[in-house]
Amino acid sequence: MAICPERYDRYKQLRAEGYSAADAARLSKTAADGTLPEVPGTREGAGGTAADGRKYGPKEGESEPDWGGLVRGYDGEPPADMVNPHGHHAVFKKGRGTKMREYLDESKDVLENYDIDWYRGRENLGWAPNKNHSTAAAKAVRDALVEAHETVGTREAVVDALAKMKEHFKNDTIGTLFD
């Protein structure tokens, strides 16, 4: 059986961009007319959705959940003294700019490695003032998760690191990690 160089090159490119082997193979399969399917954006620009090959995240065409309602179910009401509370993702759903998306993809990779739902899971959601959605904050979270993964390498260590990051967001102290 001969390998089609165009398909194989496409497969290698998609794998290098972070697609799973199954998704890269599917997106490298030619149609009956000999054309390759359109790639739904690179991992970098796609925002890390389940529709783009992530284990967790929104499905294509799905409406966003009521984040405040989810957090209420997990943790109860927001603190009474919190200004402008919202259901906050410690690992943001999507990012602005290449560097932020890179940090978020790395964080999501760590969480998915331990079967932690970064989109709807209680481990990643909590109350926080509606602010601090910066590249520096995304990097601080990524650094904490990668350190837990590389130095301890257990789900518990990653969940603990994530809980500390959620507390920093909740208490509006995330800036102390990078200022």
Residue 87 buriedness (CB in 10 A; 0-12 / 13-18 / 19+)? buried
Place of tokens 């998915």: 112
Tell me the pTM.
0.72
What CA–CA distance (Å, rounded) separates 53 from 162?
Answer: 23
Half-sphere exposure of 147 (CA within 13 A, CB side): 11
Is 122 part of any domain?
yes
Task: Clarify whether residues 24 and 89 are in a common domain.
Answer: no
Whether the pLDDT of residue 48 is over 70: the answer is: no
Q: Which domain holds residue 31?
A: 5-39
For position 75, what pLDDT does the model report?
95
Q: Which of 39-48, 49-58, 152-161 has the lowest mean pLDDT?
A: 39-48
What CA–CA distance (Å, rounded) separates 82 from 131?
Answer: 12
Task: Clarify whether residues 20 and 61 are in a common domain.
Answer: no
Is 49 part of any domain?
no
Tally of domains in the chain:
2
The band of 17, judged by pLDDT with boundaries at 50, 70 and 90, is low
Which residues are registered as beta bridge partners of 128?
86
For position 21, what pLDDT does the model report?
64
Helix (H, G, I), strand (E, B) or coil at 172: coil
Q: From residue 172, give the alpha-carbon distance in Å to each of 84, 137, 166, 179.
A: 12, 11, 10, 13
Is 50 part of any domain?
no
Whether the pLDDT of residue 16 is over 50: the answer is: yes
- Stretch 94-120: mean pLDDT: 94
Alpha-helix residue ranges (DSSP H) falling in 55-134: 67-75, 98-113
Task: Clarify whether residues 116 and 29 are in a common domain.
Answer: no
